[in-house]
Amino acid sequence: MGAGPSLKSVARAAGVSVSSVSNAYNKPEQLSETVRTRILDVAREQGYAGPDAAARSLRSRRAGAIGMLFTEQLSYAFSDPYSVGLLAGLAEVAEQSRTGLLLIPVAPVDSTDPDAVDTSVQAVRQAVIDGIVAYCVDPEHPAHEVIRSRGLPVVATNDVPGLTHYVLIDEVGSTRKVGQHLRKLGHRQVGVVLTSHSHGDELSVIEADESHLLDFEQKRLRGFREGLGSGAEIVAVTGGHNSIESGRAAAGELLDRVDRPTAIMATSDVMALGVLQALDERRLVPGKDVSVTGFDNIPEAAAAGLTTVSQPIAERGRLMGRMLLDPDFAETRVVLPTKLIVRASTGPARG
Amino acid sequence: MGAGPSLKSVARAAGVSVSSVSNAYNKPEQLSETVRTRILDVAREQGYAGPDAAARSLRSRRAGAIGMLFTEQLSYAFSDPYSVGLLAGLAEVAEQSRTGLLLIPVAPVDSTDPDAVDTSVQAVRQAVIDGIVAYCVDPEHPAHEVIRSRGLPVVATNDVPGLTHYVLIDEVGSTRKVGQHLRKLGHRQVGVVLTSHSHGDELSVIEADESHLLDFEQKRLRGFREGLGSGAEIVAVTGGHNSIESGRAAAGELLDRVDRPTAIMATSDVMALGVLQALDERRLVPGKDVSVTGFDNIPEAAAAGLTTVSQPIAERGRLMGRMLLDPDFAETRVVLPTKLIVRASTGPARG
DNA sequence: TCGTTCTACTTGAACGATTTAGTAGATCGA
DNA sequence: TCGATCTACTAAATCGTTCAAGTAGAACGA
């Protein structure tokens, strides 16, 4: 005999069919008031918690939850107000649709530990969900293959061959504006701080080959180049995870070079805050000695006087949610506007 | 004929039994190399994504995810660095155990919309999870009943009759320290700012009856009273959700009274930041004109010079995760230490 | 050569619900 | 009074797995 009570045992005890018990929970209007309350009473007596979640998911083919894929450790994701903002927007819509939100961290495609990728791809396979938000997941990432074969609806934050639904920003155009801004200020020797999973937390200077960078970082770098125009020299450094600390480390690398750049662009505000720290440690003044720019316009950026690119954070999350959950939402590819926010951290180049 | 490929169809195509296909995915060592690769090849050809998540959950009786219950709208939860920190700690452990994290917002028990409570309790019933973290869920909340009858392991942040596993802080003792601190500074006319779900966003002054307050707020209020000792007059105001804005509004209420308090305690740092705003708008200087204290010691508190109670945020999340997921973790009731952090926002009472 | 152990696979019964199709009886209009 | 329609419920199939138990055949020791 089974341990816990089930539809069946309740049905027996109440003297009705299994389907009636099921209906008592799911389609109350199909049952007479009398029978329905009797069933629910019996259920309570037996300590029956209501239809089993897994069984219901299996039979009805819906999970009541959507997954959100991160290619960062969750602890990093939560320390970036940008991810948190996106999540908040998404959660808002999910909540309205009575849908849960499952956070799924996946190891980056170029992770140092190859097992980690397999394991996390398995997590994607085993997640009981109805749809997925792919947040900065590399187009090459094997998770996409799993999602595809599972046939789950996906909304992504970056272009991935085979996918149809996106909520994007103009990555290239955004950093082009940053580049132009710095060019007008006379900066010709410029540093770039990138995140990169591939090299762990190790610093490394990017040489000619940029193909191993995350795709959105390639785009931001390209736009930045275009904006700066010819005659500028760019040194790009990756500092590992997206965190203040790695921004600080990467900036240190740049600032201690003999040909110290007069400006540094970071591809996220969180990293840029680290760059500001590195300046501070060297008694350099942002916007005077060295100009610094970020990306995202998180609340802290305003407080720090950081020149950055603003994108509608929560709105991006909301749109992703609606694309997945709202059947009346027809658009499949939304490109959100971004804006260059100039603050005190950028100024004319020295010398 | 069924739509998508299944274990069965793959088995047929590969000329093996269903269980062998299952084993190819779950117990590779039980199969010969030859057969295993053949199966996986056939699966790939057929576009089979691997064992169905819901079916697996049903049969194996495990979901591969734990739920986290909030009694706030998720959007508020994400705007409080405290919740985010807790979540980060929890996520860290979940990640290590290859377990997903399902966010489940539940309507507060005293919600203005009674349907909302039912709906959200249903969400708890339908969530495919192996365990639950109950974050500040009122002991009276019906969600507890569902969890209990589902037989799910629970870890809570506050005492709930019937539950066994907790990661707590000494609520009463913490605010007692705050009260003592303010007493030494000579404060006798004191305001308290609480969150309260019951009244929506409406301000209200708490009279003698405190029974409708959230239990942890009752405790904090009690400790505060004890610390302040006799002879002090306390006016408590609830400002709605836990947010900067409602802190601001509640403080406004207090500051504009004829008997303006010389000190205000808020039960969270987020609210306290709002109190500081309210002071600022009235050209009052924190720690001089009016003293202000918070709770949690979020990063922003340090920047704002806020006197507050620090509790180990991420550690609390990690412990909850381990209690749920680590079989070697034997403790069932951990009480974490808190510390009064005195900063510039408190000073001697005026007059 | 016989029995034992091992390996590699198969069989068949759960897991706990939803859903489609169907039935018995009441109601109703003509 | 007949057939149609409606209400309230039931029967049986199905969802796609996992798992305990079982089997056929190879390998092995004595």
C-alpha B345/C-alpha B342 separation (Å) is: 8
Tokens of A149: 């074969």
pLDDT confidence bin for A79, thresholds 50/70/90: confident
A292 touches A286 (CB < 8 A): yes
Please classify residue B207 by burial: count the beta carbons closer than 10 Å to its beta carbon, then call 0-12 exposed, 13-18 middle and 19+ buried.
exposed
CB within 8 Å of A192: residues ≥ 6 apart: A206, A221, A224, A234, A235, A236, A237, A264, A265, A266, A267
pLDDT confidence bin for A107, thresholds 50/70/90: confident
- Helices B81-96 and B313-325: crossing angle in degrees, nearest 10, is 40
Q: How many residues does chain A have?
A: 351
Q: Give the nucleotide at minimum CA-to-C1' distance from B32.
A: C8
Strands of A187-244, DSSP E: 189-194, 204-206, 233-238
Residue B91 backbone dihedrals phi, psi, to 5 degrees: -60, -35
B76 touches B243 (CB < 8 A): yes
Q: How far is CA A136 from CA A91, A167, A216, in A?
A: 18, 11, 8
Is the pLDDT confidence value at A86 over 90?
yes
Query: CA B32 – C1' D26 distance (Å)?
Result: 14
- Rounded to a whole number of angstroms, the distance from the CA of B341 to the nearest CA of chain A is 23
pLDDT at B204: 67
- Helices B269-281 and B244-255: crossing angle in degrees, nearest 10, is 50
C-alpha A17/C-alpha A8 separation (Å) is: 8
pLDDT at A115: 84
Nearest to B222 by CA among B254, B192, B263: B192
Mean pLDDT of chain A: 92
Is the pLDDT confidence value at A231 over 70?
yes
* Residue B290 DSSP label: B
C-alpha A38/C-alpha B188 separation (Å) is: 58
pLDDT confidence bin for A198, thresholds 50/70/90: low
CB within 8 Å of A90: residues ≥ 6 apart: A68, A101, A133, A317, A318, A320, A321
Query: CA B99 – C1' C6 distance (Å)?
Result: 35
A3-52 pLDDT tens trace: 689 999 999 999 999 999 999 999 999 999 999 999 999 999 999 999 99
B87 → chain A, closest CA residue? A78
Strands of B195-244, DSSP E: 204-206, 233-238
pLDDT confidence bin for A257, thresholds 50/70/90: very high
- Average pLDDT for A80-92: 91
C-alpha B239/C-alpha B245 separation (Å) is: 9
C-alpha B159/C-alpha B72 separation (Å) is: 18
pLDDT at B146: 94
Nearest to B117 by CA among B131, B102, B101, B138: B138
C-alpha A39/C-alpha A23 separation (Å) is: 10
Is the pLDDT confidence value at A223 over 70?
yes
Flag residues 80-119 of B with CB < 7 Å from strand C: none
Q: What is the largest CA-CA distance in chain A?
A: 91
Q: What is the pairing mode between strands B263-266 and B189-194? A: parallel
* pTM, two decimal places: 0.90
CB within 8 Å of B32: residues ≥ 6 apart: none
Nucleotides of chain D within 7 Å of a protein C-beta?
Answer: 7-20
Nucleotides of chain C within 7 Å of a protein C-beta?
Answer: 7-21
Chain A residue numbers with beta carbons less than 8 Å from the beta carbon of B50 are 125, 146, 149
Is the pLDDT confidence value at A277 over 70?
yes
pLDDT at A206: 67
Q: Which of A241-245, A285-289, B200-204, B210-214 has the lowest mean pLDDT?
A: B200-204
Tell me the three state secondary structure of residue A98. coil
Is the pLDDT confidence value at A200 over 60?
no
Of B47, B87, B98, the CB nearest to A78: B87
pLDDT at B329: 96
Radius of gyration for the alpha carbons in chain A, expressed in angstroms and rounded:
25
B66-120 pLDDT tens trace: 999 988 777 778 888 899 899 999 999 998 888 999 999 888 877 778 888 888 8
Q: Give the nucleotide at minimum CA-to-C1' distance from A61.
A: D15
Is the pLDDT confidence value at A2 over 80?
no
Contact A49 B150 (CB under 8 A): yes
Please report which residue ranges of chain A form alpha helices under DSSP H: 7-14, 18-26, 33-46, 53-60, 74-79, 81-96, 114-126, 142-150, 171-184, 215-228, 244-255, 269-281, 299-303, 313-325
C-alpha B199: how far from chain center = 20
Q: Give the nucleotide at minimum CA-to-C1' distance from B27.
A: D18
B221-251 pLDDT tens trace: 999 999 999 999 999 998 888 889 999 999 9
Query: CA B67 – C1' D16 distance (Å)?
Result: 24
A67 touches A129 (CB < 8 A): yes
C-alpha B3/C-alpha B1 separation (Å) is: 7
pLDDT at A238: 86
C-alpha A62/C-alpha A151 separation (Å) is: 13
Footprint on protein of nucleic strand D, Cβ below 7 A: A 15-20, 23, 30-32, 34-36, 55, 58-59, 61; B 2-4, 6-8, 18-19, 22, 25-26, 48, 50-52, 55-56, 58-60
Tell me the three state secondary structure of residue A255. helix
Tokens of A62: 């819906």
Q: What is the pairing mode between strands A165-169 and A154-156? A: parallel
Residue B345 backbone dihedrals phi, psi, to 5 degrees: -75, -5
Of A61, A74, A151, the CB nearest to B95: A74
Please classify residue B233 by burial: count the beta carbons closer than 10 Å to its beta carbon, then call 0-12 exposed, 13-18 middle and 19+ buried.
exposed
Which residue did the predictor score with more confidence, B41 or A209?
A: B41
Beta bridge partners of A168: A335
How crowded is the C-beta side of B245, counted as CA atoms within 13 Å? Answer: 6
Is the pLDDT confidence value at A201 over 50?
no
Is the pLDDT confidence value at A60 over 90?
yes
Residue A266 backbone dihedrals phi, psi, to 5 degrees: -105, 150
Nearest to A306 by CA among A253, A257, A270, A259: A270
What stretches in chain B show pLDDT beneath 70?
1-3, 197-204, 206-209, 351
C-alpha B183/C-alpha B203 separation (Å) is: 27
Query: CA B163 – C1' C26 distance (Å)?
Result: 50
C-alpha B129/C-alpha B67 separation (Å) is: 6
pLDDT confidence bin for A294, thresholds 50/70/90: very high
Residue/partner pairs of A213-220 with CB below 8 Å, 24 or more apart: A213/A238, A214/A136, A214/A138, A215/A138, A215/A139, A215/A158, A215/A159, A216/A136, A216/A157, A216/A158, A216/A171, A217/A267, A219/A171, A219/A172, A219/A175, A220/A171, A220/A172, A220/A174, A220/A175, A220/A267, A220/A295
Match 């090849």 to its residue by tokens. Answer: B41
pLDDT at B2: 47
A215 touches A160 (CB < 8 A): no
Chain B residue numbers with beta carbons less than 8 Å from the beta carbon of A116 are none
Query: CA B24 – C1' C6 distance (Å)?
Result: 20
- DSSP-assigned states of every residue in A307-347: BEEE--HHHHHHHHHHHHH-TT---SEEEE--EEE--TT--
Q: Measure the CA angle with vertex B273, ends A101 and B217; round to 5°.
A: 70
Q: What is the pairing mode between strands A204-206 and A233-238? A: antiparallel
pLDDT at B203: 63
Q: How far is CA A141 from CA A71, A193, A215, A303, in A?
A: 10, 23, 11, 36
Tokens of B254: 């207090």
Q: Measure the CA angle with vertex A78, ends B81 and B123; round to 5°.
A: 85
Tokens of A337: 């506007």
pLDDT at B196: 73
Contact A74 B88 (CB under 8 A): yes
